[in-house]
Structure 1
Amino acid sequence: MTATATTSTEPLIVRRARESEYAAVGELTYRGFGHHLPAADQPDSERLTLLVDAEARADAGTLLVAEDVRTGKLVGTITVLLHGSPLARQAEPGEAEVRLLAVLPEARRQGLGRLLLEHSVQLAARNGARGVVLDTGVDNLGSQELYRQFGFIRRPDREKPRPAPKVQLVVYTLDLAG
C-alpha cells in the first residue's frame, strides 16, 4: 500500500515498513510515546517490548510508516491488526484493530496522525473488516479528540478495568459497514 499526501510543510508518503527499518520504527514508536523525555515514565518490560519490537508488529499485522520523502526520515507509524492477531487486544470478529499510532514530537500538528489513521482504516476495509477498534489511555485527550473527529465512537461497554499501575483504557470503534 502506498499513498502520497502533502502536509503544510513536507511531502509525506505512507507505506508498509521495510524489514531494514524495524529498529528505526521501534525507536520512533518509543519516542512518539514520549518515553525519551527527561523524567518521563518508563514502560514496564512487556510494554517496552511491544513498543520497540516492530518486527513482531509486522509479523502480527501490517506495520505502516509515514516517511518524509525529501529526507527519507520516518516520522510516524501505526499497526493494523485483524481479529485473531496475537497483538490485538480489542478486536472482535469482523473488526480490525489499530494500535501504536505514534508520531515524532517534532512532526506533530501537521495532520500526520490523521493521515496514518486514514490509511489504516482504508487498509482494514480492503481486508474485509466491517469495523475498526482502537484503545487509548483515559488521559490521552489529544488522541481521543482525533478519533472522535475521524468518526470513532467511544464504547464504554467494551472498556475493562485494568490493575494498577496499568493505565486505564478507553475504547473507540468505527463502523465501516454503514
Structure 2
Amino acid sequence: MTIEVRDAHAGEYVAIGEIVTAAFAADGQLGTDGSTPYAAVLRDVAGRAAHAQIIAALDGGVVVGGVTFVPHGGPMADLAREGEAEIRMLGVAPDAQGRGAGTALVRECLARATVPRPVGAGAGTPPGERGTRRVVLSTNTIAHGSHRLYERLGFVREPARDWTPVPGVDLLCYVLEL
C-alpha cells in the first residue's frame, strides 16, 4: 500500500487525536499510564485546527497518522520565529509505524513550508515570496525513533533552543534550513 497525505477532514480529528496520543504513549512520553495532562492536549485536534494545519496520513484509505503544521507562527507555535514554520505533535499509530507515514508527514510539511505566502499572509514578506527560511520542531529526549527520522530528513540539532515546558519534560530542538 502507498501512504497518502492530505489535509485532515474534521470527521478524522478524533481518530488523529487518539493515534497521536497512542504514539506518544508507546514512546513513553506520557508517563506510565498515559494520563498526563498533555494527553488531553494531543487529543484536541479540533482546537489546533483553528490555528494550524492538520495533515493526515492514510494507508489504504485508513488514517494511520497525523501532524500539526504551523506555517507562519501564531498561537500554535512553540519555537517558530520570524521566517520559520513549525512541525508539532506528529504521531503514527504504533501498529502502522515503519511503513513511511512519519516520513510522508514530515515531507508534506516541508513542501508546504516552501509554498509562497498569499497576499496579506504576513507582515514584512511581499506576496508571492517564500517567507519561510527554515522549519523547526521539538521532540522529547526519549523519542529516539523520532530523532532518527528527523536526522535522516536533514534536520540538525540546535541545542541553544532546547527547552523544558514543564518540569521533567526536556525537549530537543531540530532545525532544517530550506
Same fold (TM over 0.5): yes
Q: Residue type matched to 2:13 in 1?
A: Y
SS at match of 1:34: helix
The equivalent residue for 1:174 is 176
Relative to the length of structure 2, the TM-score reads: 0.83
SS at match of 1:90: coil
The equivalent residue for 2:153 is 150
Cα deviation, residue 94, structure 1? 0.6
Q: Does 1:125 align with 2:121?
A: no
Q: How far apart in 2 are the matches of 1:161 and 1:36?
A: 18
SS at match of 1:97: strand
CA contact (8 A) 2:73 2:85 kept: no
Change (3 A) 1:67 1:151: same
CA contact (8 A) 2:27 2:142 kept: no
Identity %: 35
Cα deviation, residue 161, structure 1? 4.1
Give the paired residue count: 162
Match of 2:34 among 32, 42, 55: 42
RMSD of aligned alpha carbons: 2.0
Cα deviation, residue 120, structure 1? 0.7
The equivalent residue for 1:88 is 77
Match of 1:65 among 26, 44, 56: 56
Change (3 A) 1:55 1:12: same
CA contact (8 A) 2:3 2:100 kept: no
Match of 1:76 among 65, 86, 90: 65
CA contact (8 A) 2:73 2:84 kept: no
Q: Residue type matched to 1:21 in 2?
A: E
Q: Residue type matched to 1:44 in 2?
A: T
Q: List per-residue Cα deviations over 1:69-116 (Å, max 9, x = no partner).
A: 3xx320011111134321210101110000111000111112221111
Q: Which runs of 4+ in 1 moved over 4 A?
A: none
SS at match of 2:111: helix
CA contact (8 A) 1:35 1:41 kept: no
SS at match of 2:48: helix
Match of 1:111 among 100, 106, 110: 100
Relative to the length of structure 1, the TM-score reads: 0.83
